[in-house]
Amino acid sequence: MKKEHDTEEVKKDINYLILIFMFVAIVPYVILNTYEPQIDVQLDFFELMFLLSQFAAGIFGIFVGIKYWGSKVFGKAYIALGLGYIFAGLGSTTFIIYEIVFRVSNPFPGLMDIFLVPFYLLILFHLVTCVRYFKKKLSRKEKFLIVMLPLTFTFIFMIAYSFPSETPGSIPDLLSRHIQVGDVTFKLVEVNSPSNNFQHIIVNDIIYELVPVEVTTTKYEQIPVSDSLINLTPIVFTNFSLAQPYEGDVEYWLGFGLVIFYFSIINVNLAFAIIGTQIFRNTILGSAWGLLLFGIILTSIGDIIYFFNALFTYDKTIDLGFWVLGFMIISYALYLHRKRL
């Protein structure tokens, strides 16, 4: 174990100008991203930065794990952390390939889940391993946090997931106004008889014309899995029909299970990260690990915001801001770890 004055040296290692730059830089990133259209079949600069930030955190984590490999605990913990972020990057890459190459909108569940499931488990392994190393026995308050934080947020999320709002902007309202066909978003306009200007569709014997909508913002309507599989009325096109999945579909229950798993483990990770921030000051990893935990908390908040946003409308601006800032801080924290052990 290193002495207490070594922990003070760790604080001196942190260049707060770099942290200030990260926080300042994320502001124009978020603002400019609001003006970037959300086009699923296009990888824009902001999404690319998100993708690269995941791989960067993973590479730094692998290097730290290799450096600490002689340690019984930290070598495995940081290799797991690095692999986790590599898996996250691979999952995001797979998602993007689905959308751009195969033109599959919102490919969930899909092959990306093969990478995302172990990603969250590996992050949990890192957090649990380090927390339990520095604190052998958790207090009742800490155990309460680990249990109640996931249960409370997951319960709230399941209620919102199962009972969509009927207010303007809800799924039934969006269905009456917009639909995605290929790469184009159309507004549904009810007409008495079809004209020669637009293609038309028939919903319950009512004729709608598809008027193209220009995408000018990052915000777009996204139909949640629960509604897309249960509540939407089948839409009959002039030349073909869209199949309507049924409630008992295996794909529906797989998607439902994955959503609950993701949301639950995100909150478990968040609880352990919060506990870690309460003990990092007295550890041999010092402020470098505290900074890492802060980055994990930011990315977890981004995940939570994403899942709630995706229930009704999805605006990538907010999520990407939390994620990219969090991954930048994680990468910098891992860079600082090179001097700790």
pLDDT digit string, tens, across residues 80-133: 999 999 999 999 999 999 989 887 777 888 899 999 999 999 999 999 999 999
Give percent of the chain above pLDDT 90: 51
pLDDT value for 244: 41
pLDDT value for 311: 76
Looking up tokens 């505290």 gives 290
pLDDT value for 219: 60
Of 300, 285, 293, 305, the C-alpha closest to 329 is 293
How many angstroms separate the CA atoms of 79 and 67, rounded?
10
The sign of the dihedral angle between the CA atoms of 217, 100, 298, 145 is positive
How many angstroms separate the CA atoms of 62 and 105, rounded?
33
Of 7, 311, 28, the C-alpha closest to 170 is 311
pLDDT value for 183: 62
pLDDT value for 211: 77
Of 188, 161, 160, 194, the C-alpha closest to 174 is 188
Strands (E), 73-135: none
pLDDT value for 180: 63
CB 93 within 8 A of CB 131: no
Strand, coil or helix: 257: helix
pLDDT value for 218: 64
pLDDT value for 179: 65
How many angstroms separate the CA atoms of 101 and 193, rounded?
37
Residues 6+ apart with CB under 8 A from 137: none
Token digits for 115? Answer: 């990478």
Pairing of strands 184-191, 178-181: antiparallel
- Enumerate residue ranges in the chain where pLDDT < 70: 1-12, 163-184, 203-204, 213-249, 312-314, 340-341
Chain mean position to CA 232: 25
Coarse DSSP helix, strand, coil percentages of the chain, rounded to the nearest 5 percent: 60, 10, 30
pLDDT value for 224: 37
Q: What φ, ψ does residue 176 adopt, rounded to 5°? A: -75, -5
Strand, coil or helix: 175: helix
CB atoms under 10 Å from CB of 248, counted, come to: 8
Element (H, E) at 315: strand 313-315
How many angstroms separate the CA atoms of 160 and 106, rounded?
20
pLDDT value for 230: 31
Local structure of residue 241 (DSSP, 8 states): B
Give the dihedral of Cα atoms 163, 165, 256, 260; nearest 10 deg.
Answer: -90
